[in-house]
């Protein structure tokens, strides 16, 4: 059994989508970020960085418990545990890592910056433009890629699709204009978003 400590942000969604898609039994423990649950001693004991998501796998490698934070670390851990969503072929796996890192270390923080600036009483215009332009460039590149191939890393569904879906899906929930007008991304959103595991994983 796995315990998931998370909230409804793109990072939290990634972890929940993977638990669902890998078919692993888990219990969700909702963390209220606004109330600061993530800075309480019991949470910091699991992740000293004080951020969601965190999983505790009571049945980790060798039967020993594993406590893990970092959404990408969690996704890969769960993919390896279940033997799903990581290509066996080396070139395809490299393409998966490239797509995964763009979704998580480029697009995720860019979206976070856009949200933070949008919530400010007096948004700093140059920063707003910088991050919005960066977001549009990533979206355009994904739209072009997904016009040529079915999934983020090629012809195989991988963790990268779930990572990108969490960030694009979260953008669609909060600022839908960020996701408007990308035909191939729309086709991909329709397919990935229709998966029961993804639907449940996006729900908090």
Ligand X SMILES: N[C@@H](CCC(=O)N[C@@H](CS)C(=O)NCC(=O)O)C(=O)O
Q: Which of 8, 11, 17, 4 is nearest to 161 (CA)?
A: 17
The count of chain residues that interact with ligand X, using the rule CB under 6 A, is 11
For ligand X, which is the closer residue by CB, 71 or 158? 71
Q: Which of 11, 102, 110, 158 binds ligand X (CB under 6 A)?
A: 11
Residue 110, interface with ligand X (CB under 6 A)? no
Mark 50-89 with x for binding to ligand X (rule: CB under 6 A) and - for no binding: xxxx----------------xxx-----------------
Q: Judging by beta carbons within 10 Å of its beta carbon (0-12, 13-18, 19+), is residue 130 exposed, middle or buried?
A: middle
Q: Judging by beta carbons within 10 Å of its beta carbon (0-12, 13-18, 19+), is residue 67 exposed, middle or buried?
A: middle
Mark 33-52 with x for binding to ligand X (rule: CB under 6 A) and - for no binding: x----x-----------xxx
Q: Closest separation between CB of residue 68 and ligand X, Å? A: 10
For ligand X, which is the closer residue by CB, 146 or 171? 171
Residue 30, interface with ligand X (CB under 6 A)? no
* Token reading at 52: 């969601």
Q: Closest separation between CB of residue 204 and ligand X, Å? A: 12
Round to whole Å and give the CA distance between 108 and 114: 10
CA angle in degrees (0–180, nearest 5) for 185-168-71: 130
Q: Closest separation between CB of residue 47 and ligand X, Å? A: 9
| Residue 25 neighbours by CB under 8 Å, 6+ apart | 1, 2
For ligand X, which is the closer residue by CB, 50 or 193? 50
For ligand X, which is the closer residue by CB, 70 or 128? 70
Q: Judging by beta carbons within 10 Å of its beta carbon (0-12, 13-18, 19+), is residue 86 exposed, middle or buried?
A: buried
Residue 102, interface with ligand X (CB under 6 A)? no
At which residue do the structure tokens 């972890």 appear?
A: 15
Q: Which residues make up the interface to ligand X (CB under 6 A)?
A: 9, 11, 33, 38, 50-53, 70-72
């Amino acid at each position: 059994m796995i315990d998931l400590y998370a909230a409804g942000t793109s990072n939290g969604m990634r972890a929940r989508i993977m638990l669902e898609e890998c078919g692993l039994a888990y219990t969700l423990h909702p963390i209220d970020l606004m109330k600061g649950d993530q800075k309480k001693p019991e949470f910091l004991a699991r992740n000293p960085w004080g951020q969601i998501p965190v999983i505790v796998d009571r049945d980790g490698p060798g039967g020993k418990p594993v406590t893990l934070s970092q959404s990408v670390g969690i996704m890969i851990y769960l993919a390896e545990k279940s033997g799903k969503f990581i290509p066996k072929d080396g070139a395809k796996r490299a393409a998966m890592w490239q797509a995964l890192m763009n979704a998580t270390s480029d697009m995720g923080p860019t979206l976070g910056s856009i949200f933070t600036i949008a919530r400010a009483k007096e948004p700093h215009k140059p920063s707003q433009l910088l991050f919005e332009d960066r977001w549009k460039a990533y979206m355009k590149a994904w739209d072009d890629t997904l016009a040529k191939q079915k999934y983020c890393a090629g012809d195989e569904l991988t963790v990268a699709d779930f990572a990108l879906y969490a960030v694009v899906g979260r953008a669609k929930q909060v600022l839908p204009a960020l996701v408007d007008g990308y035909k191939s991304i729309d086709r991909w959103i329709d397919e990935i978003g229709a998966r029961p595991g993804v639907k449940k994983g996006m729900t908090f």
